[in-house]
Chains A and B, each alone.
Chain A
């Protein structure tokens, strides 16, 4: 019974990874591609890790730790890539509803040196 559950979980997780790959190849915009490449493999890793935790006798804490690491680092990494893609020149974007971020794009970053305005 546990074997069957582990195999079904592994198959669903691998199918999610495969769907993410297909989406990354076929979408035509970096944000659409990031949408496919960030969320689906994270859930796939969760399911595959659950399958491995069920079927492994020893070493399953490492699987759980790897899943936790992926869950913590994937949103941070995709946030960094999205910000870099927005700020870099020459990235082709196909936005449907206009650029809502454009009015904030000129605001100084945290950590940038801002000219002192005090009298």
Chain B
């Protein structure tokens, strides 16, 4: 059943990627990449729950932090330079 949850989460992350590709403006893309990173953390945590090992959970933490910093940098860039 966790495989089904992983498939749904992966489909959601593909939707985020689609919006990051299509996005008409730069804030759309920044927002979509932020949501993609969150769904990536969800996928990593689900994979850890499926396999029962905690090896990849450090990756989830680091990805969450890096995504946050990237979102901050992207939004500051949009605010300073325009769309």
Contacts and interface: CB of A to CB of B under 8 A. Distances in A.
Contacts, number: 197
Report which residue of B24, B42, B53, B68 has the largest number of chain A beta carbons within 10 angstroms of its beta carbon.
Answer: B42
Nearest to B58: A62
A84 B42 contact: no
Interface residues of A, number: 56
User: Mostly helix, strand, loop or mixed at chain A's interface?
Assistant: helix
A19 B9 CA distance: 9
A14 B71 contact: no
Interface residues of B, number: 54
**A21, A70, A78: which has the most chain B beta carbons within 10 Å?**
A21
A30 B24 CA distance: 9
Contacts of B5: 7, 10-11, 13-14, 48
B21 to A, nearest CB: 11
Given A17-B13, A62-B54, A85 B42 contact: no
A15 B64 CA distance: 20
10 contacts: A17-B12, A18-B9, A21-B16, A45-B41, A59-B48, A76-B72, A80-B71, A84-B79, A91-B27, A92-B25
Interface of B: 1-2, 4-9, 11-16, 18-19, 24-28, 30-32, 34-35, 38-39, 41-42, 45-46, 48-49, 52-55, 57-58, 60-61, 64-65, 68, 71-72, 74-76, 78-79, 82-83
Given A81-B74, A83-B79, 16 more contacts: A18-B15, A25-B15, A37-B16, A37-B34, A37-B35, A41-B42, A48-B42, A52-B48, A59-B54, A60-B54, A63-B57, A77-B72, A88-B26, A88-B79, A89-B83, A92-B25
